[in-house]
Amino acid sequence: MNITIIGAGYVGLVVATCFADVGNEVVCHDLDDDKIARLSRGEVPIHEPNLAPVVTRNRLAGRLRFTTSDALAIGHAGIIFLAVGTPPEGDGSADIDHVLAAARSIGRLMERPLLIVNKSTVPVGTADQVRATVAAALAGRGVDIPFDVVSNPEFLKEGMALQDFMKPDRIIVGAESAHALGVMRQLYAPFSRNHEKFVAMGTRSAELTKYAANAMLATRISFMNELAHLAGQLGADIEAVRLGIGADPRIGRQFLSAGIGYGGSCLPKDVRALIRIAARHGQHLRILRATQEVNDAQQHLLFERLASYFNGASALRGRSIALWGLAFKPDTDDMRDAPSLVLIRALLAAGATVRAYDPVASGQARRLLVAEHGEARCAASVLFASSAQEAVEQADVLVLVTEWQEFRSPDFRYLASTLRAKAVFDGRNIYDRAVLDAAGLYYEGIGRTDDRQGRAAHP
């Protein structure tokens, strides 16, 4: 089939690549000249494991093309996916301007019947708005060309995007016509071979399903983070509790890891957007508000622990804090809503300096911090190290922020010899207190047995 994807970001590029890889003729369109130029000459602008070779083989086979021309993109296919950004507005509502702008272009340029498939995460009722926008543009041209609008939210995770798309748990399709549903079934047949993954419903249910899924995931995380505080105070270990409850199939093992709060481009923004959607309908989503409140506090936890360890935030002035990991999770360079930024901002405000290392996200982090603090302040306060080892040299303490594979088994004796205050704060519970004790390092995790939580710990 001929398919067009509008938006070549973390989602659009993966969707375009995977559809091309199963034999479709795909055109991927973006407004960003630089992104399209890089993609057209074979560069993949995001860090996503295993994506680059699949982009390359499909590009070289001629099945995957990139363009900034909306006329070319819209003329290419009978199926057009919208995978543009839906960033948060000031009050947390999802901004669907990019979605509606793409819909207007389609209405202005389409010359034949179309299936318009929305993949962006959008408020309930957006499919109806897309339909109205396209219809208005057609009416403005004085033409009547049939089209359908389908909601097909995406559930891929960054860092695992290719396999999530190629082997999805479910394919949610909200459609109001049997014809649209039939085309979507055919399109997704290669990804749904071994068991039925296709779940058909109305467009509004599909739109809500996306928010409901992310809200549930966020709530599990906040629940575990809140429980971790209790575990720490009671002398229990949240990691043991996690294993214990995760063994119950009604609960399941995934998304129970306590840490420094959920971040990324989706969970924080989608929780806030769903709260706003409900508020507009007079509903106060109590559970979700608590989820967000716990998460906001959790993102500040490591700073509070550090302040407490040094006997007060004012004692952080002049301290050098090493950070391992900047991205909101491993295997991505995405810094959107990364908890590391909350920690860095607080450390800089307290007068500390930061030595940060991330295998791939340092460039994005630097851009964001320079935009916030200016080039000179950033250069004076944050060193972007080129290795994990360089980050800890001359640092007082180490904070593990992102659980990249390469941080899992460090030389603790080396850390004990190089860290001036000989302390490790583990924001992801990946280390074993006994091993650090043996190496002569002070250890604090999140809700671990014997966490002293910084109480007068530093001599």
Ligand X SMILES: O=c1ccn([C@@H]2O[C@H](COP(=O)(O)OP(=O)(O)O[C@H]3O[C@H](CO)[C@@H](O)[C@H](O)[C@H]3O)[C@@H](O)[C@H]2O)c(=O)[nH]1
Residue ranges for the known binding site for substrate are 155-158, 210, 255-259, 263, 329
Closest-by-Cβ residue to ligand X is 266
Does 102 bind ligand NAD (CB under 6 A)? Our answer is: yes
CB contact set of 142 (below 8 Å; sequence gap of 6+): none
Binding-site member from 4, 17, 24, 86 for ligand NAD (CB under 6 A): 86
Q: Which stretch binds ligand NAD (CB under 6 A): 10-18, 288-296, 357-365, 395-403?
A: 10-18
In Å, how far are 169, 226, 235, 245, 251 from 248, measured between CA atoms? 20, 20, 23, 6, 5
Rounded to whole angstroms, how far apart are CA atoms 211 and 86? 13
Does 272 bind ligand NAD (CB under 6 A)? Our answer is: no
Q: Are 321 and 396 in contact (CB under 8 A)?
A: yes
The kind and range of the H/E element at 198 are strand 198-201
Strands annotated E in 309-381: 320-324, 353-357
Interaction residues for ligand NAD, span 15-34 (CB under 6 A): 29-32
Tokens for 246, please give them.
């995760």
Which of these, 106, 84, 100, 78, lies nearest to 4 by C-alpha position? 78
Does 426 bind ligand NAD (CB under 6 A)? Our answer is: no
Binding-site partner at residue 267 among ligand NAD, ligand X, none, CB < 5 to 8 Å by type: ligand X
Q: Which stretch binds ligand NAD (CB under 6 A): 1-9, 49-57, 191-199, 442-450?
A: 1-9
Does 7 bind ligand NAD (CB under 6 A)? Our answer is: yes
Q: Considering the complex, what minimum distance in angstroms separates the CB of residue 218 from ligand NAD?
A: 14
Residue type at 225?
N
**Would you list the DSSP string of 393-406?**
TT-SEEEE-S--GG
Q: Considering the complex, what minimum distance in angstroms separates the CB of residue 267 from ligand NAD?
A: 10
Pair type for strands 353-357 and 397-400: unpaired
Tokens for 114, please give them.
């179309």
Q: Considering CB under 6 A, how many residues would be counted as binding ligand NAD?
A: 26
CA 204 to mean position of chain CA atoms: 23
Between residues 148 and 334, which has the closer beta carbon with respect to ligand NAD? 334
Phi, psi of 156 (to 5 degrees): -65, 150
Q: Is 266 among the catalytic positions?
A: yes
Which of these, 71, 78, 81, 43, lies nearest to 59 by C-alpha position? 43
Binding mask 220-259 toward ligand NAD (x if CB under 6 A, else -) reads ----------------------------------------
Q: Considering the complex, what minimum distance in angstroms separates the CB of residue 178 from ligand X?
A: 28
Region of residue 69 (left: phi > 0; alpha: psi -120 to 50; beta: else)? beta
Between residues 148 and 158, which has the closer beta carbon with respect to ligand X? 158
The kind and range of the H/E element at 2 are strand 2-6
Q: Are 128 and 203 in contact (CB under 8 A)?
A: yes
Between residues 48 and 148, which has the closer beta carbon with respect to ligand X? 48
Binding residues for NAD(+): 30, 35, 86, 121, 158, 269, 336
Binding residues: 30, 35, 86, 121, 155-158, 210, 255-259, 263, 269, 329, 336
Binding-site partner at residue 214 among ligand NAD, ligand X, none, CB < 5 to 8 Å by type: ligand X
Does 6 bind ligand NAD (CB under 6 A)? Our answer is: yes
Q: Considering the complex, what minimum distance in angstroms separates the CB of residue 204 from ligand NAD?
A: 17
Q: Are 159 and 331 in contact (CB under 8 A)?
A: yes
18, 28, 266, 378: the catalytic one is: 266
Phi, psi of 19 (to 5 degrees): -65, -40
Site of interaction with ligand X (CB under 6 A): 121, 154-158, 214, 217, 221, 255-257, 259, 262-264, 266-267, 270, 328-329
Q: What residues make contact with ligand NAD under the rule CB under 6 A?
A: 6-12, 29-32, 35, 83-86, 98, 101-102, 120-121, 154, 156, 158, 265-266
Residues marked as catalytic: 266
